[in-house]
Every structure is written in structure tokens, then in C-alpha cells.
Amino acid sequence: MLSSRFKHYNEIDVVYVCPYCRNKDPFIADKFFGLTAHVKRIHVKNNDCKCPVCGATFRSPLGLHRHFEAMNDADHLTAKFFYGLNQHRNSRLKQMLRTIAYSNTKTYVRRWITLKCPNCNIVTFFMRIKRLIYRCKKCGYTIEIPLSEVKVI
Ligand SMILES: [Zn+2]
Ligand SMILES: [Zn+2]
Ligand SMILES: [Zn+2]
């Protein structure tokens, strides 16, 4: 049995991970609306009529719209929500797309990790404070941890 001191060890937090950041350091948001803002600002704005999911390219935005219309998997429905192609739809459908995008980007991460603190120089507990930034419980030193190391499968 875990001592009461470590009772929070298995607690998990929720973050939202950008599905379109290609690098190893994907954008992480604490709130879903933060992710939506990021996708609109970075990916939708820079879109050159290319599907962010499968890479198919089109000559006009209309081609991309039609492509999204034809696809019904979760990743394309998520893109349909983020890319604002639901603007003229009824609110029920908008809400459905939002729900799909929400659950498709929702990711569980550990609230607590153990790590050798570079400042304390001992293995101790770190708690997540925001995004993937964790803080040493002993000295307050903060460090960003890669998603792969804190993601709960
Ligand atoms: Zn991104
Ligand atoms: Zn596609
Ligand atoms: Zn420390």
C-alpha cells in the first residue's frame, strides 16, 4: 500500500495535443479552446489547400471542403471542426463535430512524476503545473517533460 504521502501518485490530468504539429514537440494546451486557437492561428491560416490529415492537395479551398465532406473518420471530422468548415451548419452538427474533435485530441498525462532534480540533485516528486511543465516538490525547479514520457496509455 502506498503511504499517504504519495497518495496522489497515480492521479492523471488532461491536456489537448495538436494533431498537426509535425515535429517531436507538439503544441500542448491545458484547455480545448487553447488548442482551437492554436490550430486556427498556425495551421488553418497557413493552409495551402492541403488536407492536414492525409496530405491530399487541392487547387482551391472548395476542393478541400469537398474532400472533408467525403471523409467520415474521426481525424477528418476533427479537421472539419478546426478548419471552420462547419460555419454554415446547424448547431447540432457543429456540436457533434466539436465533441469528436475534443475527444480526439484529449490526452491523459501523469500529474506526478519522479525525477532526479538538477537543482536538489536527488530523485524526488515533480507535479504538473501547466502544459507539460513539471515542478520539483522540494525546491520549485521547473522542467518541461516530453509527451512520450508522461502520456498515460
Ligand atoms: Zn499545431
Ligand atoms: Zn484528407
Ligand atoms: Zn528540486
Ligand 3 centroid, distance to 69 Cα (angstroms)? 51
Contacts of 20 (CB under 8 A, 6+ apart): 39, 42, 43, 52
Residue-level pLDDT at 79: 93
Please name which of 2, 8, 1, 13 lies closest in space to residue 151, comparing C-alpha atoms: 13
Ligand 3 centroid, distance to 143 Cα (angstroms)? 10
Tell me what percent of the chain is helix, strand and coil, each rounded to the nearest 5: 35, 25, 40
Alpha-carbon distance of 19 to 118, in angstroms, equals 32
Give the SS3 label for residue 32: helix
26-40 pLDDT, tens per residue? 899 999 999 999 999
Ligand 1 centroid, distance to 38 Cα (angstroms)? 6
Residue-level pLDDT at 46: 79
Alpha-carbon distance of 39 to 103, in angstroms, equals 16
Residue-level pLDDT at 58: 94
Please name which of 145, 144, 130 lies closest in space to residue 15, comparing C-alpha atoms: 130
Below-50 pLDDT ranges, the chain = 1-2
Alpha-carbon distance of 106 to 112, in angstroms, equals 18
85-94 pLDDT, tens per residue? 556 667 888 8
pTM score of the predicted model: 0.86
| Residue carrying C-alpha cell 515535429 | 23
Residue-level pLDDT at 99: 95
Ligand 3 centroid, distance to 28 Cα (angstroms)? 24
Residue-level pLDDT at 9: 64
